[in-house]
Amino acid sequence: MNIFDVLQSVDRRVIYVLLALVIAIPLLKPIPLPLSIAPETQQCYDFLNGLPDGGVLWIGGDYDSGSATELTPVGIAAAKLAFKKNMKIILYSMWNTGATQNHNWLKAVADEMGKQYGVDWVDIGWKAQAPYVLRGMTDDIITAAQGTDFEGNSLASLPLMQQVKKITPEYVDGILDLTTGSPGADTYLQYVIEPKGVPCTVAVTAVSSAQYMPRVRAGQYKGLTNGLSGAAEFEKLTGFPGKATAGIGAQAFSHALIILLIILGNIGYVVNRRG
């Protein structure tokens, strides 16, 4: 049996093992790739990095676990960037199915960076009739949020919420909305961005990016991260590589392996056929 016969008769279990390895290695130890940065990702980073040190960043967690791979890495990197700038963070989730996961990743970042709950960050959580609660919070956050945070604590007792009274430019310097549908970024556009003038940037899933791109170009959103690739680009810009960097590496290496195997298999087929 020559090498070309081998190329056509590789045991599929060998292929599975190779594929598992090229996926697992980048996930366990992220390998930064030479990514080209999309203009919209650069705009998103420039906006968040340009917010004033010590200011307030509002994060909207408007997605569930199905979109976490693409959106959570952006939230984590943005939170690290904000905390590095000594900014305060307020989290609000308009999706009930995503409220717990959002709380968990932000708490993990805050603990890692030594930030205190109630002073450096607050999670308002999810509230019934969430879009209308958002509208009400442009007048009075505590009243609209029924006075409690994610864990049922009194918002009025938290030092940060004693300083930030409502979602207006007077109190909130910028918004990052991690969005995958409605309610989401368009809800912020309707109730906060246009009427109140609070600037906002968005992170979206790859399948929904087309609907948000015109509003980025019109200046309604101050940038956009597009799916997993946009999240990896954003991590690269912030200097906080994480799961998106690992995921895009695993994706790239697995695709490369599959293409290589197809090429080798076809070479073996052509050579043997000619023989």
Transcribe 78-143 into DSSP letters.
Answer: HHHHHHHTT-EEEEE-S-GGGHHHHHHHHHHHHHHTTPPBTTTEEEEE--TTHHHHHHHHTT-HHH
CB 135 within 8 A of CB 191: yes
Question: Distances in Å between the alpha carbon of 140 and those of 26, 33, 88, 207?
Answer: 46, 45, 18, 35
CB 103 within 8 A of CB 74: no
Q: How confident is the model at residue 265 (pLDDT cuts 50, 70, 90)?
A: confident
Q: What is the per-residue pLDDT across 124-154, written as a single tens digit (0 to 9) for each?
A: 999 999 999 999 999 999 999 999 999 999 9
Q: How confident is the model at residue 252 (pLDDT cuts 50, 70, 90)?
A: low
For residues 133 and 158, give the distance between their C-alpha atoms in angstroms, rounded to a whole number: 19
Residue 270 has pLDDT above 90, yes or no: no
Q: How confident is the model at residue 6 (pLDDT cuts 50, 70, 90)?
A: low
CA nearest neighbour of 153 among 119, 130, 113, 114: 119
Mean pLDDT of all residues in 218-239: 95
Query: What is the model's pTM?
Result: 0.83
The residue type found at 30 is P
CA nearest neighbour of 159 among 124, 119, 123, 117: 119
Residue 74 has pLDDT above 90, yes or no: yes
For residues 247 and 26, give the distance between their C-alpha atoms in angstroms, rounded to a whole number: 7
- Please state the φ and ψ torsions of residue 123, each to the nearest 5 degrees: -115, 110
Q: What is the per-residue pLDDT across 161-184, written as a single tens digit (0 to 9) for each?
A: 999 999 999 999 999 999 998 999
Q: How far is CA 275 from the centre of its chain?
A: 54
